[in-house]
Amino acid sequence: MGDSTPRILAGSGGDGTCAETISIYDPAYPSFSRICFTFVSLIHASSLIALSFTHLIKLCIHGYCPDSLNLSSIIHALCDSNRFSEAHSRFLSSLASSSGSGSIIPDERTCNVIIARLLDWGKKPHVTLRVVHRIIAVKPHFVPSLTYFNRLIDQLCSCSCVHSAHILFFHMKSLGYHPNEVSYTTLINGYSRIGELGFAQKLLDEMSECGVRPNLLTYSVLISGALHNRDIKLYTSLLQKLWTTMADENHNQTVNHAAFSNLIYTLCQKGMFKSVFDMAETKDCLHGDETKFNYTPSENTYKILIECLCSQEPDLIKAKKGSA
């Protein structure tokens, strides 16, 4: 099978015969730079990724040097095609094969954009964390966004790698970051889910010491942990703090909805329907008494409550009798 490399006529002799042909990969080709741009652009088309990579490799062999924009296009195209593993490996390879002053090391903004895209995978946060560490190694002054650190902590906690998330939390602080309520709440939720309430409570205390005020969601996830461990004393104490916080401050409504929905869901999952009924009657939370608690439950909160009640019909009947 012959060479399939695209070629053009470079000129002709006086008798009209072809003098020579030039490969489009030859830098002498008049539109070489445009051809390079075209093949790199084609990477965005998922059906042409393999073909585009083949041509891009040939372009590199003939002197074309991909820049950070090309690299970003490759990563985005692979992620769009759900090829996150390959996206991680290709980006790591580009960093490993480059010195600190290499031309394919992206600038800080591009690095943050790529990290955000790789985080969309969510299945193997350790791999994405390896990418972050590698970027910092080749760009010592690179500062990842706090939002991406929080996302990594959340993904590690979701994989039950809470201690790894806590190490990342310390590393984040060593870089000069000041963890916010999202950072603390995410880590507290991670420890609560694995039953290590001691660490969760220490983080809650640390929040106050560092001047970070716990929000409703912070108390809500810790309440879930207390109920999971059947620590009624801690549950009662935290619930009182949640009501106090709700009454004293006008928090972000999105946080309020998430916190209250989580609380209702946890109580129903533990079969504590009487507590839900008592809450509705004594706290007026489910009646939208804004003057008392500065909060009106969301539609999603009611949906969660109805779904939980319908799925636990026997317990619901018992709860109704108990509250009568």
Exposed (0-12), middle (13-18) or buried (19+): which is 259, by Cβ within 10 Å? buried
- Domain limits of the chain? 1-64, 67-144, 215-324
Instruction: Give the C-alpha separation, 203 to 212, whole Å.
Output: 11
At a CB cut-off of 8 Å and minimum separation 6, what does 206 contact?
A: 184
In this prediction, residue 259 carries a pLDDT of: 85
Residue range 266-281: mean pLDDT, rounded: 77
Side chain identity, residue 102? G
Rank 16-20, 157-161, 244-248, 295-299 by mean pLDDT and report only the highest.
157-161
In this prediction, residue 251 carries a pLDDT of: 62
Side chain identity, residue 215? N
Q: Which residue has the tokens 């970003």?
A: 72
- The pTM of the full predicted model, rounded to 2 decimals, is 0.73
In this prediction, residue 248 carries a pLDDT of: 65
Of 32, 33, 30, 25, which is closest to residue 6 (Cα–Cα)?
Answer: 25
- Please check whether residue 263 is in contact with residue 297, taking contact to mean a CB–CB distance below 8 angstroms: no
In this prediction, residue 42 carries a pLDDT of: 54
Instruction: Give the C-alpha separation, 103 to 68, whole Å.
Output: 8
Tens-place pLDDT, residues 109-134: 889 999 999 999 988 999 999 999 99
Tens-place pLDDT, residues 196-252: 999 999 999 999 999 999 999 999 999 999 999 989 899 999 988 888 887 765 667
Tokens of 207: 């929040």
At a CB cut-off of 8 Å and minimum separation 6, what does 242 contact?
A: 216, 219, 220, 223, 259, 263
Confidence band, pLDDT 50/70/90 cuts, at residue 12:
very low
- Please check whether residue 89 is in contact with residue 48, taking contact to mean a CB–CB distance below 8 angstroms: no
Task: Provide the 8-state DSSP code for 10.
Answer: E
Instruction: Give the C-alpha separation, 66 to 34, whole Å.
Output: 13
For residue 58, which phi and psi values (nearest 5 degrees)? -65, -40
Task: Provide the 8-state DSSP code for 2.
Answer: -
In this prediction, residue 107 carries a pLDDT of: 86
- Please check whether residue 160 is in contact with residue 194, taking contact to mean a CB–CB distance below 8 angstroms: yes
Instruction: Give the C-alpha separation, 59 to 32, whole Å.
Output: 9
**Choice between 90 and 318, residue whose per-residue pLDDT is larger:** 90
* Per-residue pLDDT at 143 exceeds 60: yes
Side chain identity, residue 166? H
Instruction: Give the C-alpha separation, 60 to 35, whole Å.
Output: 12
In this prediction, residue 69 carries a pLDDT of: 79
* Per-residue pLDDT at 14 exceeds 90: no
Mean pLDDT (the chain) is 76
In this prediction, residue 1 carries a pLDDT of: 46
Tens-place pLDDT, residues 32-58: 455 555 555 555 555 556 656 666 666
In this prediction, residue 20 carries a pLDDT of: 47
Evaluated on CA atoms 235, 302, 155, 114, the torsion sign reads negative
